[in-house]
Amino acid sequence: MNEFTAQDIEAVYRVIAARRDMRHFLCEPLDEPLLARLLAAAHLAPSVGFMQPWRFIRIRDAALRGAIHALVESERQATARALGEREDEFMRLKVEGVRECGELLVAALMDGRERFVFGRRTMPEMDLASVACAIQNLWLASRAEGIGMGWVSLFDPERLRTLLRMPEGSRPVAVLCLGRVPGFYPRPMLEEQHWAQRCELKDLVMTDYWSDAPAPPSGLPRAAPAPAATPAP
Amino acid sequence: MNEFTAQDIEAVYRVIAARRDMRHFLCEPLDEPLLARLLAAAHLAPSVGFMQPWRFIRIRDAALRGAIHALVESERQATARALGEREDEFMRLKVEGVRECGELLVAALMDGRERFVFGRRTMPEMDLASVACAIQNLWLASRAEGIGMGWVSLFDPERLRTLLRMPEGSRPVAVLCLGRVPGFYPRPMLEEQHWAQRCELKDLVMTDYWSDAPAPPSGLPRAAPAPAATPAP
């Protein structure tokens, strides 16, 4: 009945489990047919009302890559300051591999999205959800091919949009680092570095109604500063 | 070197290509170990700063399922009206299988997300991207197991949040219909029904800078009404 064999199913679960957000890369380019396969996998993602809102910009120019790295570095420092007590710990983490990775992509939402209302009249953010599904496809296909990927969201989207001469209404949502890696982390790097812990699945699944007292996520930042606009109680 | 064999890689690409947004289900429950495997696959998704913002509510109560269906039906009618010229065409589409599917889940963003700033200081919507990646994992694992899934976003999120007694700050992002199906659509249903067409990948990939004249997406609604707030030029 099911055209996927037990071995196929096992491979799918295994790639889901082995996928990692990578920040360490070997400086080797990817070959074009491989990149084409990965992008084709992204393009097979679901999208709300079949709107296919994803756009990908390949960064080939070295100076442009450097400018993107500078944007990321600027936001890394701003994030560190916003983290307060965990600033030093955050600054010791490697959070991106923009300069080293073999292929740098920017994934973006297209402009003109307001024309699409199917599944978005009350939930306009479903276009971002669609792009995220495309990126997850790309991530899983990469992992199966032995290629690492990291999703960097440490940037000011307006500054990146301007840098890449993107039209108003479009929005970059990910700087994607792809490439060969010295090895895949056995566990998520932020777990290995004790930044946060994996929650227990049973604490995240409820029945019929929201549970009054779900266990607090174990991945909660230890020093959780409230943003200025919403002071902590 | 790569622990994924050519056969494994092929299975991963095949499941990505065969995944469909399903709206036709057989009325048969899923067994618990299967559902547990699917949710575990979702929980292995990447998340910004490892925050794991996803929450899942299993809808077991028949009256509650009926109430969710009523919310979806109400939004379906509102969407049809918003589509203007394509209203009748939209109303002929089957857009959800809420009442028939074997298992109904609501996927949501947890409350208290403002505490997490890693990767979200300038990009707060990355929590939704993480939940979308979890849902895509669930989708692909389901497909490999021969189980269909549909992501319904036709609802008012505040009304659904209230119905499920979810705390302020949390947000439902998907009504997920899962279950055995009479068969998987050979192509996306909205493509088969001529609602929209698949874009060509080459029109979605650019180099270094946004291209001035990317081909307009072929999936553009034929009669694209601008929302009242942003009148068409």
Is CATH 3.40.109.10 the right assignment for the domain spanning B19-185? yes
Report ipTM for this prediction: 0.92
Rounded to a whole number of angstroms, the distance from the CA of B117 to the nearest CA of chain A is 7
pLDDT at B214 over 60: no
Rounded to a whole number of angstroms, the distance from the CA of B100 to the nearest CA of chain A is 17
A188, closest residue in chain B (CA to CA): B50
A84, closest residue in chain B (CA to CA): B117
Whole-prediction pTM: 0.92
Residue B229 confidence (pLDDT): 39
pLDDT in tens, B129-174: 999 999 999 999 999 999 999 999 999 999 999 999 999 999 999 9
What does the domain layout of chain A look like in residue ranges?
19-185, 188-221
CA angle A215, A130, B107 (to 5 degrees): 25
pLDDT at B3 over 70: yes
Residue B182 confidence (pLDDT): 97
CA angle A99, A100, A104 (to 5 degrees): 70
CA pair distance A96, A105, nearest whole angstrom: 13
Residue B219 confidence (pLDDT): 44
pLDDT at B5 over 70: yes
Give A136's contacts in chain B (Cβ within 8 Å).
45-46, 132-133, 136-137
Asked whether the beta carbons of residue A205 and residue B39 sit closer than 8 angstroms, the reply is yes
List alpha helices for A83-185, DSSP H.
87-92, 126-144, 157-163
Give B226's contacts in chain A (Cβ within 8 Å).
114-115
CA pair distance B225, B222, nearest whole angstrom: 9
Tell me the angle at which helices A6-18 and B32-43 cross, rounded to the nearest 10 degrees: 30
A54-59 vs B205-207, strand pairing mode:
parallel
> Closest Cα partner for A116 from A53, A46, A44?
A53
pLDDT in tens, chain A (233 residues): 799 999 999 999 999 999 999 999 999 999 999 999 999 999 999 999 999 999 999 999 999 999 999 999 999 999 999 999 999 999 999 999 999 999 999 999 999 999 999 999 999 999 999 999 999 999 999 999 999 999 999 999 999 999 999 999 999 999 999 999 999 999 999 999 999 999 999 999 999 999 955 445 544 444 333 343 333 33
Residue B232 confidence (pLDDT): 36
User: Taking every pair of C-alpha atoms in chain A, what is the biggest distance, in angstroms?
Assistant: 56
List alpha helices for B164-208, DSSP H.
189-192
Averaged pLDDT of chain A:
92
How many CB atoms are closer than 10 A to CB B229? 6
Give A196's contacts in chain B (Cβ within 8 Å).
49-51
Residue type, B88: D
Residue B1 confidence (pLDDT): 72
User: Taking every pair of C-alpha atoms in chain B, what is the biggest distance, in angstroms?
Assistant: 56
Mutation site, B14, B16, B126, interface A, largest A CB count within 10 A: B16
Report percent pLDDT > 90 for chain B. 89
> Closest Cα partner for B30 from B142, B109, B164, B126?
B142
Cβ distance A114 to B225 under 8 Å?
Answer: no
Banded model confidence at residue B212, pLDDT cuts 50, 70, 90: low
Give B222's contacts in chain A (Cβ within 8 Å).
none
pLDDT at B231 over 50: no
Which letter does DSSP use for residue B124 in this model?
Answer: T
